[in-house]
Structure 1
């Protein structure tokens, strides 16, 4: 089936994460689980050992509606562009970025009243992609033209106009910048060195299979393609 082929063509981490987000939302919508069983709650995590909340708090964007489709679309697009672009053949490093970013967000969430962190993770992905593609020109609603590094701030302003919490966007931008600085900037500075080192067991689990797939993959690198934006509007 064409759908199955297209689905399996999605890079594994992007496929796994976006599918998990979709299935989680459907499960809540069908009342198989409730949002109260998923949200980030330090007391329930560390005192009652409900450790799944460390993951599920990143997988639920709220009920099916504009906010859900907005976040899922951006997560899919920029996650895939990163995985097929600057992280091509480096699945372990890509997963480690998720772990690093998610850990920082959980630490930050201990001090602010945020119970779902998926939107912040989306902004982090957008931020890292935008800084690694600084010369890509983008267009919003045919009115606003800007280069890719301004995209996180455009989304920040868009969230502000919609009345959403700006703390979530700021968290994603801050964590994205920390990762970008430690991974792309500091090691290239005079006296700099690589701080973020992917654990060897992740390389052992992911990279050998990934290399074998890439050797047989004749698709062009789409890491620098400009994705579609919120609500299906074309970003150029």
Structure 2
């Protein structure tokens, strides 16, 4: 009886610890990663079929299956190496962005998600890609890598390189596995578009900020009472532009 009670207490403690760790994950990273895992689990348990999820412009436009605009970003294939690889990269780089240069700027991070999702979807109309999530991950990796150019990376203990080369290394890895690199090129292209419009063009002579986060998103996601938000609010009130803070993660 005592062993059973001790086991139950240990299980309850582990569940509580897991819950605490889960809710410490930044909200956008937590929501997207959870949605991807639950979608894959639903397919694995045969509650839904991949044929109900994939990106199909004809079904979206003519059959009004609008959900495909979202579900095509949530499924990474059946449980296996590819799924685990994608989820690890999604969680790692999405979280590092949200806790790094987007810290206290959830609305801006959500706007980057919307920008990337919309542009990838538009390109997907011409690229004949069924699932767009991998391109989205590459976009996140690209933005992170360009904002942390001095970080040294190690890929499976085989290659050492600086962060900006990471998206290209991942594309080469896809090529070695015999996969199409169209998805990687799509993610790199959209990532560069965001990076150029957000970080490069506004700092050029005659340049200006073109990507403006809607006030509706700021009202929904940015909380003035959040300690991380106050320095950013003061900088905005002083007329300063919000730039990446250059925070580095090893």
Deviations 1:87-145 (A, max 9, x none): 00000100110100111111111111101000000000000000000000111233311
**Residue 66 of structure 1 is aligned with which of 81, 97, 102?**
81
What is the distance in 2 between the residues matched to 1:179 and 1:154?
Answer: 20
**2:56 equivalent in structure 1:** 41
**2:71 equivalent in structure 1:** 56
Q: Is the 8 A contact 1:10 1:80 kept in 2?
A: yes
- What is the correspondence of 1:58-97 to structure 2 with a 5 Å cutoff? 58-97=73-112
**Residue 212 of structure 1 is aligned with which of 196, 218, 226?**
226
Q: Under a length normalisation based on structure 1, what TM-score does the superposition of the two structures give?
A: 0.90
Runs of 4 or more off by more than 3 Å in structure 1? Answer: none
What is the distance in 2 between the residues matched to 1:181 and 1:141?
Answer: 30
- What is the correspondence of 1:158-169 to structure 2 with a 5 Å cutoff? 158-169=173-184
Q: Under a length normalisation based on structure 2, what TM-score does the superposition of the two structures give?
A: 0.85
What is the distance in 2 between the residues matched to 1:141 and 1:94?
Answer: 29
What is the distance in 2 between the residues matched to 1:213 and 1:12?
Answer: 16
**1:22 equivalent in structure 2:** 37
Q: Secondary structure at the match of 1:96?
A: helix
Q: Is the 8 A contact 2:149 2:163 kept in 1?
A: yes
- With over 3 angstroms needed to count, the CA separation of the structure-2 counterparts of 1:213 and 1:27, relative to structure 1, is farther
Is residue 2:215 matched to residue 1:200?
yes
What is the distance in 2 between the residues matched to 1:224 and 1:6?
Answer: 22
Q: Is the 8 A contact 2:153 2:163 kept in 1?
A: yes
What is the distance in 1 between the residues matched to 2:227 and 2:23?
Answer: 12
Q: Is the 8 A contact 1:28 1:34 kept in 2?
A: yes
Higher relative contact order (CA 8 A, sep 6+): 1
**Residue 149 of structure 2 is aligned with which of 134, 144, 154?**
134
User: What value does the CA root-mean-square deviation take over the aligned residues?
Assistant: 1.7
Larger radius of gyration: 2
Deviations 1:19-48 (A, max 9, x none): 000000000000100000000011111111
